[in-house]
Amino acid sequence: KDCKELLEDDGLLFIGCPSFNEKDARDKWHRWQTMGKGEHVVIFTEKSFICLMDRCGFDFEFLQPKEKGIFVKAWKTKEKDND
């Protein structure tokens, strides 16, 4: 929510984080050096990341194969006219 308020209407937000959809992630997550140390306190699945982005009001596109982790370009969801 804070990011959305700070982002210009035509601004972009780039997000990169590990994902449980990465190849062999469930076997190697305990070796991720940034896990649980403040940088990555949550590890998303593709589905949980999509739900978070929707809830926060962002549209996005994946910039790399999801098997390599989550890396997206995001922007504010455009308000729909109900006319």
Please check whether residue 49 is in contact with residue 22, taking contact to mean a CB–CB distance below 8 angstroms: no
CA-to-CA distance for 36 and 58, rounded, in angstroms? 25
Check residue 7 and report its DSSP letter: S
Cβ contacts of residue 64 below 8 Å, gap of 6+? 71
Tell me the HSE value of 79 on the side-chain side, using a 13 A CA sphere. 4
- Going by the DSSP 8-state scheme, the letter that residue 78 receives in this structure is P
pLDDT digits (tens, 9 = 90+) for 15-70: 988 887 776 766 766 666 666 565 667 788 899 999 999 999 999 999 999 888 89
Q: What is the pTM of this model?
A: 0.76
